[in-house]
Structure 1
Amino acid sequence: KLLAQLGPTLPDGGKRLKTHIQVLRDQLVAINLQASLLKGDTSRETSTSSASIMNGQMGSVVQPTFRTFTLPSGGRVEYPSMAPDVRMKMFAEKPAANRLYGGHMNPERQMQARIATEEVVHRIHKSLETCPPEHTETQDPAGLKVHLMAHQREALTWLTWRETQVPPGGILADDMGLGKTLTMISLILKSKLEEDNKAQADQEKWLSTSEECRNLIPSQATLVVAPASLLGQWEKEIENKVKRGLLETCIFHGPNRETSALHLAKHDVIITTYMIIEKELGPKAKAMSLLGRIAWKRVILDEAHQVRNPKSQTSQAVCKLRAMHRWAVTGTPVQNRETDLFSLLRFLRCSPFDEHHVWKIWVENKSAQGMKRLNLLTKSLLLRRTKDQVNPKTGAPLVVLPEKKSFCHRMKLQPEEKVIYDHVLTFSQHALRQYLMKDSEREAQLEVRFAGAPGASAQPHGGPKIPGQDGMDVKAHHLLVLLLRLRQICCHPGLIKSMLDSESRAGAGIEDEEEEDLDLLEQLQGLSIRADGETVDEAVTKKVFTSVNPVFNPTRRSTKIKMLLEQLQTTRDSSGSERDKIVVVSQWTSMLEIVKTHLQEAGFRVQGITGMVNIKERGKIVEDFNTNPRGAEVLLLSLGAGGVGLNLVGGNHLFLLDMHWNPQMESQAADRIYRMGQEKDITVHRFLCEETVEERILELQQKKLMLADNVLKGARNKANKISIEDLKTLFNMA
């Protein structure tokens, strides 16, 4: 009242005084809120006060609204209408629309951001109290033609609970081969059978009145985004496991895909690919997005680790989808580092942790408190079970699978291959020394990420020139190329003759900076490498790096191809009347082409799935391999096209020809045959060339596996980088 009376008499009309009083009020509320958080007070007044603070400079932040979750006798769950602020967050054009951090962060704004974040953390704690008891099972949805396993019924309970929370969705991270696809289909079917007409009408009314969302087309459909190789698998799974007519499915892919958003919105399930999403919603999208015009009931990202790089165009595109419920389905939610999990939380719109600044300050800050918050987020939003877990009620494994054996076949390069390998290794060691000469600070830490993650390319660093190499400026990605070449020589020296194709770049984490030639073959040819006592002329006349050298001929059997043929023949001879089937995996299609030639010469019936194979044809190849005893006995599989999601239970032997930087990729490949539905004992064969870079890659793989396991278990981890010492080890300079 005093301010109202005296304000008009002041030069500025009392605005400055009014602002100062408001700041003091906010600080007082902040002190009270922090005290209440420490005491565990969750009174309605505290929430209201915090929310009122956030309606100032910062805009509104979604505050979780907790709902009691109950399972009546019939297993039916009442879905309450979501609060308007939650709807706005889910249907907004992009995540983290109202940022806590950014611009000038004065003390008041820092306090406001802290209060809002602490309250969300506190409320997530409270939300866990509403979580159904562990091992609570939900009945199979009516219309399902198969019986769910116990762990799938438990997952259905948890999934249903998560769809009533904030954010409404989560991460299903069950081990590969535990039937995640059928579990998600059961959720879709259950949700449709229990549709609440009133809640649906309320949401449609809200969409029509919201200024930002009024142009969206309301839909009760679920959009499934999956790798191209899994389109047919999702369609066939619905067709085989759900009674006809209950779920109307549409494949949104190819040049003849649906062009009407209204027609598309009327289906129950729409299945599309990450590439289509990137074309429709990515930065290079040319026309109005069809998928972006629909307000989906649910979006499911299958093999969601595909978007683990938050800077990739695909990751940014999927975040623009508008949906009430969001699910990330992946057996490997963390592959390289904790940031992998941030990408999924951003897609889920787990406010405020979908804002990168909040994530870095509050979670990925290398502190014990940060790890506790990460553990809390995973406990609330993520469900993970593994094949080796047992059901506490029965003492039996979650799924009964045949025996799994793993063998590592060690071999030495042939003398002529060793010559090529040693030449490249010597050149690589020389390049690394030159790279390190610039300054001693490089010894501390080289910011080169592990190769293998899409978009995780090394940034070039300028360095001194190698003596005798005109214009050869050693950069970080040159070292990655050399590592790639060493790995390829271990498979077949012929692989290093070709220029780097797009597949090899993606697999090595290399980007072509300024169209620079990444093939170092010419530099290798120009480098004089001599044996002890050998003259320069004698070394030159050998012409090691020329096309006439027979070691590069694809028809020549390399060390690994010889070993593969021996093992395949042994498997064939020991399999009896019912022949075993075999999957051979490589990350390079060029290697698979060489292998195919040698296998066909040896009399093996061979089929292959690579990125060049049409999507529809892939399904036919998989079906034939799994069911036709007279079909192909060997399936060649590229790690990129078939390393995820495919069901290849027709095979019971899997050969990994080369070692990938990312061990999770190899685990994914092995689980193509070791999964529900497998009836035979399976064997995984790994090939490793001794005294080469492959031995040292194996050591780095173990580090990455430990990192992923620790994140899921809530343990603390170091940054995932290749240090200078790691590079020295890889180049055998340690």
Structure 2
Amino acid sequence: MTLPESSTFPHHVAAGCLHVSRVDSGLSDEQWFRLPKQWNPFFRSDQELNRSIVASGVHHIELTESLHKCTNFPLELQELLFEVALAPFAKLFRHHWIELEFVRSQDDADINSLVRVYLLPDDKDRSLINRSNKPLRRHWNSLLSKLDFSPSAWKGKSNGDRSFQPALMQPPDQDGAEPSLLQLFNTIPSPKPSPDYLLDSNDREYCRSLLNCDIPGLKTQLFLYQREAAAAMFEREAQPSQRTDPRLCHVVDQNGDPWFFDYITGEVLKDGRSYEGVSGGILAEEMGSGKTLICLALIAATRQQPAYRPEMYTAPIIVRPKLGSLADMAAAAGSMASVPWRSYFSREQCGDREYTNCLDKIEQNPGWYLMPRPAPKRVSRQPEAFEQQSDKVYLSCASLVIVPTNLLEQWKDEIAKHTPDLRTLVLTKAQVPTTIPNTLSLLQYDVILVSVTRFERLIDNRIKDKHGSWVLLSPLAQVHFKRIIIDEGHALGHSTLAKKSNLLLVVEQLQTSARWVVTGTPSKGLYGVDGSCAGRKELSHSQERKDTEHIGSIAAHYLNARPWANKVLEDGDTTADWRVYVMQTKNNNEVQNRRRQSVLKSTLDSLIIRHPKSELSRLLPKVTEKTVYIDGSYQDIMSLNLFAAYIILNSVQSQRVDQDYFFHPKQRKYLDELVSNERQASFFGGNFFTATDIHKAVLTAEEFLQKGDVVISKEDDCLIREAITFAKMAEANKTREVSSRCFEVPIYIEDFPGREYAGVLSSWAVDGKGGDKMCTIAPLVVVLQRYVRPWLSSPESLEIVFNSGTFATYGAKARNKAMGGVPEIIQRGEGPSSIAFTDKDDKMYKDVSKQKKARSGTLEWADVNDTLEKDEEIAKPLVKCRLVSTASAKLSYLIDQITKYKDEEKILVFYETENVGWYIAGCLEILHIPHLIYAKNLKAERRAQYVATFNEMSKFRVMLMDLKQAAFGLNMNSASRIYFVNPVLNPQIEAQAIGRARRIGQSKDVTVETLVLRGTLEELIVERKKKMTQEEHRRIKSIMDDRPFYEWFQNARILPLPDVAADDGPGQMAPLAVPVPLFGRGSGQIIHPDQDLLAKGERESSDRECATPCSDNGGVGSSFGRKRPLSMAADAADAAAEDAVDKKPKKPAKGVRFA
């Protein structure tokens, strides 16, 4: 058979074939054998399309007299085929949507025939043919679903392999591996900006200045990747590139000619369709790579260039009340055209000459345009009743930067360090919005820095006008910003079309030329792997769907990326549902899966700017991670065994079936609390289970055995008896009793001052015993240090105090206060109790307190240490007093490590519960090691001050951080040693915490140690973490949701105790590698909460608007404090929970000793 020339239908796409069997054709045998055996076009009984003369307004071709083509295909057979086999597609042919050719196949007993289908593309002959007919569109899509696109069918062979997808222009890789979202993210090509590509000469200069790091006002030299990222950001702002619609698949027809196909809508295009790229995007460089600096470089380089008027709004005609001066008219013309006039009057251009009058005229005539408000949704029946209103919007050079509250101070510090010349306005939390400067004042700034909390409060100013249009009553709404940057903006991904966040709703009311999201992780599962191995570290399917959904939400609702942001009412285009094109469930159809990945890759590449981690690895500090396995002390194992004993007693007595069983679904809340407490007990658990609780549990278990009402197995009998025996031993342990009474970690010190005097050791020891080593607790040591402070360098005075008996008497009172009256709240997870040794009614304490006096005009307190001269020595009775051990093996290890490295390196210690942070802080205080606590109860402003202080002040060597507060974006590159008190199961949380120190600019290698108590649950956490998939990490909300952990607790067993005598108190402790002195020049000081904190200038009250340029106030205030000494822990006023916007203030955790 002969093939027709490719020019048979030159305006159509040679798509594929329909198979028509003899049975389905509706033809008799005689009629079937009359069908042609060579390709013949179908007759057309209507007028040919006249493409040479296209009359305006012609939308449909009416049927007219017959005009036959020269063909050997009998007309009556064609009509019979249209009546039966091709009935669904007859109208498509008659309305010129398709052209057809027919042949009777001879491959298989002459029982099949083929119909070639030529598709008229949707972008051809639109003036002649109506393509919006919905019934025809349904037939069109049905036809596409039935086409065989295989070359063999097109050649007339009906028995070949069929293909229901057109051939791709670029065949996929043959390795068969479908790329995951994580792989696509980590293989986004590095940006390669090209200034010569830009059409505007000013834009080319700005781009070159970024690439060459020749930026006026930038004090820091950028790395190459930072220059490339900043220049790429500017290119996308100045001249967004044209990008092919990602929904279209580039394919080839049977003649090898290219065309475009939308698999979802069935749209066929010959020339494709392009959109202008997003003016903005997502800056997603690695954690610690200097994204803030990249943004500041972009702002500094373009600070002279005002925003351009949107093309959709015409230039207003300025009407003056009287004839304006030439200077006014020239200044107005330049401003309306967004001429970068500041650069022409810069010192570099003008030297010593000043053009004050010119500058004044330009500032008096800012550029502006009128922006019409949206038309009302319901049009009045009286047209004259609606008069469209317009708002006056001013063109600005400013960039609006929206940052999390805890990063506000960091941004101010970065501005002051890298770009101090930027005119910056800082807006923080406020009760009223009226303090925002007026519109014309806002035009004077280069950067408007606002916290997310403050920005979201503007939602209260978003109202509907009388026509139903949303209006934002704020000066910010009258300014057209050059760009909006949202730092750590991944939270925008949680917004949907039906439920947008307040942040997004307010942003929608602002005018801007570009929108940026800055984040190292655009979504939860997209974090750090090297590009070289990106394809092998997979996300779970469920997590990948969530991440994909979040990225689509950012693209559609914030960045307004087309086609994902297309609106229903837009003419000439269709909406694009991200869920349909990208998030369809994976199936066995390889072509559909690859098509979905192609859409996703195209979108990611067009939105995200980042460099692969492999390109940055040489700039990032080396990280050495290791897991430190520690043998638990006698007290550690005893505490953990008590939890095991309780589980065993409960399991056996409940027979593991009824509702009293810990693992019954109705007991899940209490089980989770038990698990949380046991995890805390791996650091210290002596505060759990009082002697009374243990005694009751033992009595109940013994009664259960005596009654014998329930038959138990021999194994359970052994388990319960072992648990009872152990519980009795734990109940009788004196050291554990001390822990449960005072809620503190017992510690041992040697060479206690005054030990040779009668009653001293028994008065100060919490167990009432004496000896070479004495058992006490950190708060009592603080009281001791404070008490002897006046005589720190006077051994004679100390002898008098010891000999008089007042020292022993005071110790007894302090000890009694510590051992009694403690609220039992720790076991309920409400935080540690504060034991305040502030015996201000006690005469002896008053005698010491009289020596304190406040310094006038300062935040510091003058303490008795002011009288201690530098050349004076510590009294001999105090010099030998040293801390030698603690009840917690992890605490002892941390003390060893901190005292070993604190002089050379700064240290981050991540903890998971407030109690653990409290215990560590207590020991650091008695060892007078300056430290800060980044706790969840702190206000965001104070947290930011702590970070600045820790980074800048050499005095503070240790930062204790709540793991949950290891926030995105925090820069703590002054620290080079990191300790995790417990193993972290979620790798992303761990990576974020390490990322606080592993950053560009870190001058030292980073050492990370994770502490694991040997033989405990923590070993299982370490092992499971290596094997768990992202899907498993996403699924579990608690470790009890993971089966191996669940079974581990179900099968709890008593661990063997170290071979130590029950009455050997010191032997039950974890000794320090090197005992640490307790008395030195810093011991016993009473420190004001604000002492030594970084203070560059007085900060406004947090309840007022801070509308002062950053350069004026230095960016950091001094009205916030740090952790107070233990002796002042009762005063927890400024440790109140952080104020939440539009929420009632939270009650502070009782007795939390954080400030």
Task: Give the residue type in structure 2 aligned to 1:346.
Answer: S
* Alignment CA distance shift 1:476-1:533 (3 Å): closer
Q: Which residue of 1 aligns with 2:1002?
A: 678
* Partner-residue secondary structure (3-state), 1:181: helix
* Alignment CA distance shift 1:700-1:180 (3 Å): farther
Paired residues of 1:207 and 1:218 also in contact (CA < 8 A)? no
* Alignment CA distance shift 1:404-1:132 (3 Å): closer
* Partner-residue secondary structure (3-state), 1:194: coil
Written as runs of structure 1 = structure 2, the 5 A alignment for 1:583-598 is 583-598=908-923
Task: Give the residue type in structure 2 aligned to 1:405.
Answer: T
Looking at secondary structure, tell me which structure has more helix per residue: 1
* Alignment CA distance shift 1:494-1:465 (3 Å): same
Paired residues of 2:191 and 2:229 also in contact (CA < 8 A)? no
Cα distance in 2 for partners of 1:2, 1:44 equals 14
1:115-144, CA deviations, whole angstroms, 9 ceiling, x for partnerless residues? xxx9xxx9xxxxxxxx99637573434332
Cα distance in 2 for partners of 1:315, 1:524 equals 53
1:438-486, CA deviations, whole angstroms, 9 ceiling, x for partnerless residues? xxxxxxxxxxxxxxxxxxxxxxxxxx852368x9753766665454334
Q: Does 1:333 align with 2:554?
A: no
Cα distance in 1 for partners of 2:601, 2:553 equals 17
Paired residues of 2:678 and 2:685 also in contact (CA < 8 A)? no
Paired residues of 2:905 and 2:977 also in contact (CA < 8 A)? yes
Paired residues of 2:985 and 2:1025 also in contact (CA < 8 A)? yes
Paired residues of 1:647 and 1:673 also in contact (CA < 8 A)? yes
1:503-556, CA deviations, whole angstroms, 9 ceiling, x for partnerless residues? xxxxxxxxxxxxxxxxx99x9999969863628875775687999745553333
* Alignment CA distance shift 1:661-1:580 (3 Å): same
* Alignment CA distance shift 1:691-1:386 (3 Å): farther
* Partner-residue secondary structure (3-state), 2:501: helix
Q: Does 1:231 align with 2:401?
A: no
Quote the offset at 1:372 in angstroms.
Answer: 4.2
Quote the offset at 1:334 in angstroms.
Answer: 3.5
* Partner-residue secondary structure (3-state), 2:371: helix
- Which one of 622, 625, 633 corresponds to residue 957 of structure 2? 633
Q: Which residue of 1 aligns with 2:892?
A: 562
Task: Give the residue type in structure 2 aligned to 1:134.
Answer: K
Structure 1 residues 149-158 or 587-596, which shifts more?
587-596
Q: Which residue of 2 aligns with 1:342?
A: 549
- Which one of 252, 266, 273 corresponds to residue 428 of structure 2? 252
Q: Does 1:167 align with 2:239?
A: no
Paired residues of 1:609 and 1:635 also in contact (CA < 8 A)? yes
* Partner-residue secondary structure (3-state), 2:666: coil
Paired residues of 2:698 and 2:724 also in contact (CA < 8 A)? no
1:478-503, CA deviations, whole angstroms, 9 ceiling, x for partnerless residues? 665454334322233268789xxxxx
* Alignment CA distance shift 1:638-1:490 (3 Å): same
Paired residues of 1:216 and 1:293 also in contact (CA < 8 A)? no
Q: Does 1:491 align with 2:815?
A: no
Quote the offset at 1:383 in angstroms.
Answer: 2.6
Cα distance in 1 for partners of 2:630, 2:410 equals 38
Cα distance in 2 for partners of 1:479, 1:311 equals 36
Paired residues of 1:412 and 1:689 also in contact (CA < 8 A)? yes
- Which one of 715, 718, 721 corresponds to residue 534 of structure 1? 721
1:180-210, CA deviations, whole angstroms, 9 ceiling, x for partnerless residues? 0011122233444333544489486473354
- Which one of 456, 467, 482 corresponds to residue 660 of structure 2? 467
Q: Which residue of 2 aligns with 1:407?
A: 626
Q: Does 1:359 align with 2:579?
A: yes
Bigger RCO (CA 8 Å, 6+ sep): 1
Paired residues of 2:660 and 2:667 also in contact (CA < 8 A)? no
Quote the offset at 1:166 in angstroms.
Answer: 3.6
Unaligned runs of 5+ in 1: 7-20, 33-38, 58-105, 123-130, 391-396, 438-463, 499-519, 708-716
Quote the offset at 1:730 in angstroms.
Answer: 1.8
Paired residues of 2:405 and 2:940 also in contact (CA < 8 A)? yes
Cα distance in 1 for partners of 2:129, 2:1021 equals 50
Structure 1 residues 418-427 or 631-640, which shifts more?
418-427
1:201-238, CA deviations, whole angstroms, 9 ceiling, x for partnerless residues? 94864733544895696664433232222101112222
Cα distance in 2 for partners of 1:257, 1:674 equals 39
Cα distance in 2 for partners of 1:702, 1:379 equals 31
Task: Give the residue type in structure 2 aligned to 1:587.
Answer: E
- Which one of 265, 270, 273 corresponds to residue 448 of structure 2? 270
TM-score (norm 2): 0.42
Q: Which residue of 2 aligns with 1:16?
A: none
Q: Does 1:645 align with 2:969?
A: yes
* Partner-residue secondary structure (3-state), 2:909: strand
Structure 1 residues 375-384 or 354-363, which shifts more?
354-363
Cα distance in 1 for partners of 2:917, 2:212 equals 46
Q: Which residue of 1 aligns with 2:774?
A: none
Quote the offset at 1:420 in angstroms.
Answer: 4.2
Cα distance in 2 for partners of 1:496, 1:676 equals 43
Cα distance in 2 for partners of 1:312, 1:425 equals 50
Q: Does 1:571 align with 2:901?
A: yes
The structure having more radius of gyration, on CA atoms, is: 2
Structure 1 residues 674-683 or 199-208, which shifts more?
199-208
Unaligned runs of 5+ in 2: 1-57, 64-87, 100-117, 146-164, 170-188, 195-209, 241-275, 315-367, 377-388, 465-469, 526-542, 566-574, 588-592, 702-715, 747-886, 1052-1155
* Alignment CA distance shift 1:420-1:182 (3 Å): same
* Alignment CA distance shift 1:237-1:311 (3 Å): same
Cα distance in 2 for partners of 1:418, 1:356 equals 60
Paired residues of 2:92 and 2:140 also in contact (CA < 8 A)? no
* Alignment CA distance shift 1:332-1:31 (3 Å): farther
Written as runs of structure 1 = structure 2, the 5 A alignment for 1:108-507 is 134=192, 138-140=211-213, 141-163=215-237, 164=240, 165-199=276-310, 202=313, 205=369, 207-211=371-375, 220=396, 221-244=398-421, 246-255=422-431, 259-260=435-436, 262-263=438-439, 266=443, 267-281=445-459, 293=477, 297-306=482-491, 309=494, 316-320=501-505, 321-322=507-508, 324=512, 325-336=514-525, 337-338=543-544, 339-349=546-556, 350=561, 358-359=578-579, 362-363=582-583, 365-367=585-587, 368-369=593-594, 370-385=596-611, 388-389=614-615, 399=619, 401-421=620-640, 424=643, 466-467=659-660, 473-474=665-666, 480-493=672-685
* Alignment CA distance shift 1:353-1:642 (3 Å): same
* Partner-residue secondary structure (3-state), 1:585: strand
Cα RMSD (Å) of the superposition? 5.8
Q: Which residue of 1 aligns with 2:1055?
A: none
Cα distance in 2 for partners of 1:48, 1:551 equals 88
Task: Give the residue type in structure 2 aligned to 1:730.
Answer: F
* Alignment CA distance shift 1:243-1:727 (3 Å): closer
- Which one of 653, 663, 671 corresponds to residue 987 of structure 2? 663
